[in-house]
Amino acid sequence: MDTALIPKGVKRCPMWQFLLGLGIVGAVLLWGVYAMLLCWFKGLNQTNMNDYYGFALWIWADLAVIALGGGAFFSGLLRYIIGKDELKHIINYAVLIGFICYSSALLILAIDIGQPLRGWFIFWHANVHSMLTEVAFCLSCYFAVLTIEYIPLILENRQLDKVPFFHNLSHNMHEIMAVFAATGAFLSFFHQGSLGGVAGVLFGRPFAFREGLLIWPWTFFLFTWSAAAYGPCFTLLITWITEKVTRKKLVKDNVIELLAKISGWMIFTYTIAKICDTTRWANITAPGLGQNLADFYTGNAFYGYWILFAEIVLGGVVPAIILISAGLRKHPTWRVVAFFLGVMGVSLNRWVMVLQVMAVPILPFDTWALYYPSWQEVATTLLPVAYGIILIMISYRYLPIFPQEAELNPIEEETSTAVEAHTKSAPDLEPAKA
Amino acid sequence: MKVDRRSFLSFVIGGAAGTALSPLPWKLMDDSSIWSQMWPWTPVPPDGEVVYEDSTCTLCPGGCGISVRKVDHRAVKIEGKKGHPVNDGGICILGLSGLQLLYGPTRIKSPMKRIGERGQGKWQKISWDEAMAILTEKLSDIRNKGEAHTVAAIAGTEGGTVPALLQRFMTAYGSPNFIRTPSHQDADELAVKTLFGASGRTGFDLENADYILSFGSGIVDGWGSPVRMFRASSLWKEKNVTVVQVEPRLSNSAAKATRWIPVNPGTEADLALGIAAVMIAQNMVDPGAVAGAGGWENQLLANYGTKKVSQVTGVDAGVILELAKGFAKANRPLALCGRGKGLVAESLRETAAVYALNALTGNINQEGGMWAIPEADYIRWPDVASDELASAGLAQPRLDGAGTGRYAGARHLLNRLADAVNGGGPYPLQALLVAGANPCYDLPDTRSVRMALERIPFIVSFSSFNDETAAMADLLLPDHVYLERYGDVPVGAGLAQQVIGLSKPVVSPQFNTRHLGETLIVAARTMGGATADAFPWDNYETCLEETLAEKWDALIEEGIWVEADIAPVADTVRLAVTDAPAVQAEGDVNSFPLLLIPYDSIRLSSGYIGDPPFMIKTVSGTVVKGKDGFIEINPQTASATGLSEGSVATLTTPRGEARVRVHLFEGIQPGVVAMARGLGHTAYDGYLAGKGVNVNELIGPVEDPSSGHDAAWGIRAKLAKA
Amino acid sequence: MFPFSFEWLWDAGHIVFHGGLWYALNIIGIGMTYCIIKAVIDTSKGKGGHGHH
Amino acid sequence: MKHEQNHTTPMRYGMAIDLDKCTGCGACMTACMAENNVPFKEDESDKLVSITWMRIFELNNGKAFPDTDICYLPRPCQHCEGHGGHSPCVSVCPATATDYSQETGIVSQIYTRCFGCRYCMGACPYHARYFNWWDPVWPDGMEKYLSPNVSVRMRGVVEKCSFCFHRYQLAKNQVYLDGERKVPEADYQTACTQACPAGAIVFGDLNNPEHQVHQIVKPDSENGNKSRNPRAFRLLERLGTNTKVYYLSNREWVRRAGDNYLAHEKTGQVSKPHH
């Protein structure tokens, strides 16, 4: 039915199966959209946020998806600037995941603010001293870069590519993609960092506050670093999930192992830095403000020392060790466990830096503020997930996302035509000509 | 025209680019921000000329001067009046919230008659003429049958011309049943009469005292004239005056005091007498102000030995001695009583004991001491010439029994009304007029009060607000609120001078309401005969102006009239042997092991005026949460019952049962349960109704054997996990 | 965002921040403009499409 | 963050609140609500979503009966100066909707500029900032008492205590008409100060030696504006927020409750604010 749109040389599931899947995820999407409209029209009273908990579930989701979407900028950096050429086989997917993460982040921000119609004030009346301003600018600009990186992929759809203008546009964009990738890396460095700065500059909150370099608290660098470290983990995890769902091998192991190894070393170095930061904070920064670890991790029903352990050891040390040791890395199961732990670790870090920051009492006579999200918050947080799955489904079906797919999954019947199609469409599948 | 794909795409892309480059999106963005900056449903208060109008607040007996800021003829803010002898610029939380009462949804906006079942809330708006016709016809009918005495009137206060007009109306009409709402004023008046042998009230020169011994008086919880008390409290801090608060619970007053003496509930009188006994025994008494104390002293020495008192009160013997010494040795010591805000009359034994302490130091009618002064006496109307029907009615006994027999000492016993109406009285009531009072909420054992009201065939409420009693009425004749009317405000409330404030209309009446004085004058005139003759004034303003006579001009000019130089009613206190026993809490110890005591908070208006939205907003989340009301208990009491912070429990007393939540508080004696007054309203609006529990539903009146006044300070209770 | 908004100051913070911002925006803008113009030219030269290259 | 040019010396309006006098009566809270058109809902018992520019905290000494003691602590916006106007909230607002005035030392909030990101609320350790989760709705007729001097806030923006800045503007206009240069102490007082029946709040210019608040606080400008009065302390002084609301108490436990201390640290002896 839609065979004309499906890339040559690959096989896709029947239409009904595709539509059924789309329908199920679409239902979740609609639920999320309904919740989003409630938040817009009835206001943020639809959430369980409160004056102590001004940042809540979806801001965590926001920070988490941006960290996880870091795979796009870091893979781009490695591919286009550092010149790790093998990564061209996964860069498309990294870009797509990044695009999903960043568009979701922007959508979440649009739901989160009390006056969405005035959201553009953040640009218009920008306060350059605010980390959030930096976030907003770099986030929007980098989203533009991701869009630019994603457009050629769309234009490579079999039908669109037939339009000469689109073909040329796509070609030209590939030609100068390194420039965009470099700009993207620059922007990412700052907005990932600024997101870390968002918590780190809060000198009114000893739990979040960190000293730093010039105007940037240490969390600035830690966030950039962790996004670069864990972003590829997420790209690889999603790739693995996609392979499981499609029951196909989509990316060759050498590509995956290369990215996993880089990610592993990044996580390793990041974790060392994080441990140094935590040690300094626990022994110097916080006590200097009259507080110690017990104030942050005891006296409430949820936040205990376990979260520190889970973040740094389970989400840092363990995946780092797995990914940097060749034996474990080459083992598919261990590798996936590491990806999973890594994704959990960075998500937990963002959780701690948003939600626990809000929960810890600061005034000595105040109490912990624990919060649980309302269904509207859960729905709006699931909305981007559903949206992401749908975009992946559509993109995977109609765009040549995985350059190695056809090679790894030769279509056995009609061998002659397939081979012909394969050779013929090979240039179409070539994603990037740097 | 053939639209191919290429031209279509060009059109879409070109159109999008063209729109983006045009000013349209920018204009729309700008418009949206302007629109979102002032959504049409967000009110924009109109600007206008600013004027300040002074008046007197009547929301409590405190009598503060207020200054109302008006913009564009709207009252916008109430502030304290600077230089006013009572509050000098200060103001309390209730006074500040007055405009929410004026403009609020709780107002009764027009005269109405009941059309549904009682309490169903179905009303029909009627004209004032029709309303007055219903009232006067009904009253005339009863009177013409020779049953004028079967009409009763409940008033929130006796002071001022409006209550006086109501009282006069009752007299002219022929009913002895004008009943004032109970308060510590009842016990105070009786104690002054008993100890000084003359009618009057006490006044306290708090500002000049140098040692304060308060037996549960809520010095900063709304006792006396609240703003004056706050000011005094701060003054004492500045002058390092010792303030001792005797109370089973760490109230705000106790927290502000220099020293808090936790005492077993209901044993304050014993402690006072114990201190007196020490003073006598150790010869620390100034005999000047005391007469005939011999017998009393002997009785004291015999019955109130320090050891025994210590046992009863739970206060250390050493502490009793210390208190006695501190009190006696101070230059100008002052003892106060009247628990909390003084909402309950309390026993003569307790009040007299505390006043006796003052007398023993000789600090009577002295600077920094307790004064016994006459009530302001400016209402001098000719006596009512009763006709035959009136005389017959007035010859009947009062329904509450006050003034005769066992209750000879009492003037008003509203606490006995429910019983009387429910079958214990000499005759049934045919009609009840309620003004400035909310007995269905305010009296102990509200259930029996409601039951009594259900038996009364005709109830008229003059209330300005949808209160619980108005909800039970058959006819609503709403009064103006204080900011819409003239009125004289004689201030008692423990002031050592006589002060009369003037309430003036700050804004014109907002609704179709009528001044109660006016309503009474019109009613009397409509009824004709002797009743009309007793009301010779054309209207209320004339009445007020004539009554205040020479004070009128001063009041219009200054808003206040102060008589500082008043002759005390008497200078010596006559102490006599009494055998009145201590007032016990109702209920038996075995089934009800705990003691429930109500407490007062300045943030909870308790009385005729319900908490306006501003005030209820300030109430802590450990007093009300959602619809749940809290009790305070000591963690020890809680763990014995298996309760923890916030857990739900059932509180049972001999009078009722309520679902409550638990707040653990170290500042309360183990075994004692405290509950705030002022919650659990069923009437008013959604901002107040249905929140918490009305403690009056759990507590019943306990008669003071000496007077019949309600002397309940608590009730036995039990607590179970729900 | 622009020097004419009232909170604008010619201080280091604004110069560095907005300098970086406008620099990035310009690269993106110029890059895309280049791509589009070049694509228009290429197309007019008959390049691209239908696999004939 | 704009440095305004002014011919007179800059002012630093601030407060001294005597906690030994404060009775916790709530008049300040209510005066503030009435003065500043603060909205209310049917249920305000959840204090986490209850807008109270001035909020009274109840502190206790943690001791068991009968040694318990409680103290009330009124908490307006502390109008942090931080280091040179770098208050926790002002520096984080992305849209310049809140500003530190170098002229008066007042932290302002521009409701029509705020787009409700709530970052400032997260930054404020005093929880002095409140979000309008709901549309402000007054019961029919009650909107009559709203004051035109303070704009009614719309849903979705943050609001907070302004030290009754509109009163300063009115006083300043009057001073200008009268040909004076400085606003006299008595002409500019906040609604809470004016209402407090216990006289616990003293408000004025901390820089002006003639003002009572300066005489009570005796701020030490060499030492981060710490008070030289041994009774005085500031909330969370160690964070370097450099607040302009000082609290006074004779009770050691109350002074200690004003900041975080490690077990071995003594009140008033810890190191200087880190800024």
Statement: residue B428 has pLDDT above 80 = yes
Percent with pLDDT over 70 in chain A: 94
Q: Is B405 exposed, middle or buried (0-12, 13-18, 19+ CB in 10 A)?
A: exposed
Quick one: tokens of B253? 């007053």
Report yes or no on chains B and C touching (3+ CB pairs under 8 A).
no
A407 in helix, strand or coil? helix
Statement: residue D4 has pLDDT above 80 = no
Nearest to B102 by CA among B626, B503, B604, B408: B503
Residues 330 through 359 of chain B touching chain D, CB cutoff 8 Å: none
Q: Which domain-ending residue is among B321, B353, B373? A: B373
Tally of CB atoms within 10 A around B642: 11
Q: Among A42, A51, A117, A159, which would you mutate to test the B interface (most chain B Cβ atoms within 10 Å of its Cβ)? A: A117
Residues 22 through 81 of chain D touching chain B, CB cutoff 8 Å: 23-27, 29-31, 33-35, 37, 40, 42-47, 50, 52, 56, 58, 60, 63-66, 68-72
pLDDT attached to residue B637? 92
Tally of CB atoms within 10 A around A168: 25
Q: What is the mean pLDDT of residues B552-570?
A: 87
Domain assignment present for B220? yes
**B193 and B294 together in one domain:** yes
Q: Cβ separation of A201 and D235 shorter than 8 Å?
A: no
Q: Which of C20, C27, C49 sits opposite A167 (nearest CB)?
A: C49
**B600 and B661 together in one domain:** yes
pLDDT attached to residue A177? 86
Q: Which residue has the higher pLDDT, B453 or A83?
A: B453
Q: Which domain-ending residue is among B326, B355, B373? A: B373
Quick one: tokens of B224? 């006396």
Taking only the tens place, the pLDDT of each residue in A184-193 is 888 888 888 8
pLDDT attached to residue B472? 92
**B248 and B279 together in one domain:** yes
Domain assignment present for B392? no
Q: What is the mean pLDDT of residues A306-311?
A: 95
pLDDT attached to residue C6? 67
Statement: residue D260 has pLDDT above 60 = yes
Q: What is the mean pLDDT of residues A132-154?
A: 87
pTM: 0.91
User: Subunits touching A (CB < 8 Å, at least 3 pairs)?
Assistant: B, C, D
Q: What is the mean pLDDT of residues B479-507?
A: 91
Q: What is the mean pLDDT of residues A399-414?
A: 81
**B537 and B636 together in one domain:** no
Q: Inform me whether the C-beta atom of residue D1 falls under 8 Å from chain C C-beta atoms.
A: yes
Judged by average pLDDT, the poorest of A214-223, B64-73, D34-43 is A214-223
Q: Which of D58, D82, D115 sits opposite A122 (nearest CB)?
A: D115
Mean pLDDT over each residue of chain B, to the nearest integer: 91
Residues of D in contact with C9 (CB under 8 A): 1-2
Q: Which domain-ending residue is among B521, B540, B563? A: B563
Residue B524: pLDDT band by 50, 70, 90 thresholds? very high
Domain assignment present for B99? no
Statement: residue D5 has pLDDT above 50 = no
Positive or negative torsion for Cα A149, A150, A156, A160 = negative
Distance in angstroms (rounded) separating the CA atoms of residues D76 and D56? 9
pLDDT attached to residue D223? 87
**B227 and B164 together in one domain:** no
- Burial pattern A223-243, b for ≥16 Cβ within 10 A else e, equals bbbbbbbbbbbbbbbbbbebb
Give the ipTM of the model, two decimals please: 0.90
Q: Which residues, in sequence order, are CB contacts of A278 under 8 Å at separation 6+?
A: A308, A312
Q: Inform me whether the C-beta atom of residue D121 falls under 8 Å from chain A C-beta atoms.
A: yes
- Output the CA angle A150-A156-A159, nearest 5 degrees: 130
Residues of A in contact with C31 (CB under 8 A): 148, 176, 179-180, 183
**B29 and B143 together in one domain:** no
Mean pLDDT over each residue of chain A, to the nearest integer: 88
From A168's Cα to the closest Cα of chain C, the distance in A is 5
pLDDT attached to residue B3? 60
Q: Among D77, D111, D239, D256, which would you mutate to test the A interface (most chain A Cβ atoms within 10 Å of its Cβ)? A: D239
**B173 and B193 together in one domain:** no
Taking only the tens place, the pLDDT of each residue in A236-250 is 999 999 999 988 888
Residue C51: pLDDT band by 50, 70, 90 thresholds? very low
From D40's Cα to the closest Cα of chain B, the distance in A is 7
Taking only the tens place, the pLDDT of each residue in B626-683 is 999 999 999 999 998 899 999 999 999 999 999 999 999 999 999 999 999 999 999 8
A53 DSSP β-pair partners: none
- Burial pattern A9-48, b for ≥16 Cβ within 10 A else e, equals bbebeeeeebeeebeebbebbebbbebbebbeeebbbbbb
Q: Cβ separation of B614 and D141 shorter than 8 Å?
A: no
Q: Cβ separation of A115 and B36 shorter than 8 Å?
A: yes
Statement: residue B581 has pLDDT above 50 = yes
Would you identify the CATH topology of the domain A15-407?
A: Formate dehydrogenase/DMSO reductase fold (1.20.1630)
Q: Which residue of A has its CA nearest to C6?
A: A125
Percent with pLDDT over 90 in chain B: 67
Distance in angstroms (rounded) separating the CA atoms of residues B556 and D266? 59
Residue for token pair 């019955």? B303
Q: Inform me whether the C-beta atom of residue D132 falls under 8 Å from chain A C-beta atoms.
A: yes
- Output the CA angle B673-B677-B682, nearest 5 degrees: 120
**B363 and B219 together in one domain:** yes
Expressed as residue numbers, the domain containing B30 is 5-37
Statement: residue B577 has pLDDT above 80 = no
Taking only the tens place, the pLDDT of each residue in A40-86 is 999 999 999 999 998 889 999 999 999 998 888 888 888 888 888 88
Q: Among D1, D5, D114, which would you mutate to test the C interface (most chain C Cβ atoms within 10 Å of its Cβ)? A: D1
Q: Which residue of C has its CA nearest to D113?
A: C7
**B365 and B323 together in one domain:** yes
Q: What is the mean pLDDT of residues A295-302?
A: 92
Tally of CB atoms within 10 A around A253: 12
Statement: residue D272 has pLDDT above 60 = no
Q: What is the mean pLDDT of residues B602-611?
A: 88
Judged by average pLDDT, the poorest of A421-425, D185-189, D237-241 is A421-425
**B202 and B338 together in one domain:** yes
pLDDT attached to residue C48? 63
Residue D8: pLDDT band by 50, 70, 90 thresholds? low
Count: domains in chain B: 4
Nearest to A150 by CA among A99, A184, A75: A99
Residue for token pair 């009462």? B101
* Residue-level length of chain A: 434
**B535 and B440 together in one domain:** yes
Statement: residue B268 has pLDDT above 50 = yes
Q: What is the mean pLDDT of residues A151-159?
A: 87
From A119's Cα to the closest Cα of chain C, the distance in A is 14
Residue A135: pLDDT band by 50, 70, 90 thresholds? confident
Quick one: tokens of B542? 């004339």
Judged by average pLDDT, the poorest of A404-413, B86-95, B248-257, B600-609 is A404-413
**B269 and B165 together in one domain:** no
Nearest to D114 by CA among D138, D127, D88, D132: D132
Percent with pLDDT over 90 in chain A: 51
User: Subunits touching B (CB < 8 Å, at least 3 pairs)?
Assistant: A, D
pLDDT attached to residue B451? 92
Nearest to A192 by CA among A155, A219, A152, A156: A219
Helix axes B516-527, B540-548, angle to 10 degrees: 110
Quick one: tokens of A51? 């004056």
Q: Which residue of B has its CA nearest to D142?
A: B103
Positive or negative torsion for Cα B356, B358, B363, B364 = negative
Taking only the tens place, the pLDDT of each residue in B211-266 is 999 999 999 999 989 999 999 999 999 999 999 999 999 999 999 999 999 999 99
Q: Dump the DSSP string for B465-486.
A: B--HHHHT-SEE-PPPPGGGS-
Domain assignment present for B472? yes
pLDDT attached to residue D269? 63
Residue B695: pLDDT band by 50, 70, 90 thresholds? very high
Q: Which residue has the higher pLDDT, D266 or B142?
A: B142
Q: Among A128, A175, A201, which would you mutate to test the C interface (most chain C Cβ atoms within 10 Å of its Cβ)? A: A128
Q: Among A106, A108, A115, A132, which would you mutate to test the D interface (most chain D Cβ atoms within 10 Å of its Cβ)? A: A115
Judged by average pLDDT, the poorest of A331-335, B22-26, D55-59, D271-275 is D271-275
Residue pairs spanning C and D at CB distance below 8 A: 5
Residue A423: pLDDT band by 50, 70, 90 thresholds? very low
Q: Cβ separation of A51 and D265 shorter than 8 Å?
A: no
- Burial pattern D100-118, b for ≥16 Cβ within 10 A else e, equals bbbbbbbbbbebbbbbbbb
Q: Cβ separation of B36 and A121 shorter than 8 Å?
A: no
Q: Are the beta carbons of B209 and B241 closer than 8 angstroms? A: yes
DSSP E strands in A309-432: the ranges are: none
pLDDT attached to residue B438? 93
Residues of C in contact with A171 (CB under 8 A): 39, 42, 48
B243 in helix, strand or coil? strand
Q: Cβ separation of D27 and B41 shorter than 8 Å?
A: no
Domain holding B631: CATH number? Answer: 2.40.40.20
Domains in chain D and their CATH numbers?
13-256 (3.30.70.20)
Residues of B in contact with D31 (CB under 8 A): 79, 91, 96
Statement: residue A428 has pLDDT above 70 = no
Taking only the tens place, the pLDDT of each residue in D174-221 is 888 888 788 899 999 999 999 999 999 999 999 999 999 999 999 998
Statement: residue B574 has pLDDT above 90 = no
| Biggest CA-to-CA distance, chain D | 59
Q: What ranges in B85-127 are assigned the alpha helix state H?
A: 93-96, 98-102
Residue A181 carries which side chain, given as an amino acid letter? Answer: A
Half-sphere exposure of A367 (CA within 13 A, CB side): 9
Domain assignment present for B45? no
